[in-house]
Amino acid sequence: MARPNQYHAAVEPKLDDIRTLRKQGLSIAKIAQKLDLTVWQLAHYRKSFPDLDEALNTPPDEVKQTEQSAYFNRQKNYNSLRSFIRTQSTPEERQEYFRLILEKADQTEVERYKVMIEATSSR
């Protein structure tokens, strides 16, 4: 008797997610990791199930276009926020932005910010 595989339970319900992850540029190894499978298992299922093979074969142009759109949107939002902070934000809003930045910063960044603040206040 053949050993049951995980494809129908672990992979098939997530085919749309797999397509999305590939379009975002995730590697097959990372997708396997997200599905709690080995790359070998995913490769085996890919040979046996055409739906999975199709989901993993995202056209390179589509991935590249998605990456370019994400980069463009990031730059647009960054420039817009930067302009807003410089020209229209209140002191309270700037304080909140700075607090959010510090919340995400590691110790090296915090030290760099301290140096920048000291240099600005000594002018």
What is the average pLDDT across 75-92?
91
**C-beta of residue 67 within 8 angstroms of C-beta of residue 25:** yes
State residue 23's pLDDT score.
Answer: 80
In angstroms and rounded to an integer, the radius of gyration of the C-alpha atoms of the chain is 23
* Residue 1 binned pLDDT confidence (cut-offs 50, 70, 90): very low
Residue 56 has pLDDT above 60, yes or no: yes
pLDDT at 35 over 90: no
Structure tokens at 7: 């494809």
- Helices 91-104, 60-87: crossing angle, 10 deg rounding: 140
Dist CA 101 CA 113 (whole Å): 10
- pLDDT value at residue 2: 44
Determine contact, residues 45/7, Cβ cutoff 8 Å.
Answer: yes
Give the pLDDT band of residue 90 (cuts 50, 70, 90).
very high
pLDDT score, position 108: 93
pLDDT of residue 21: 87
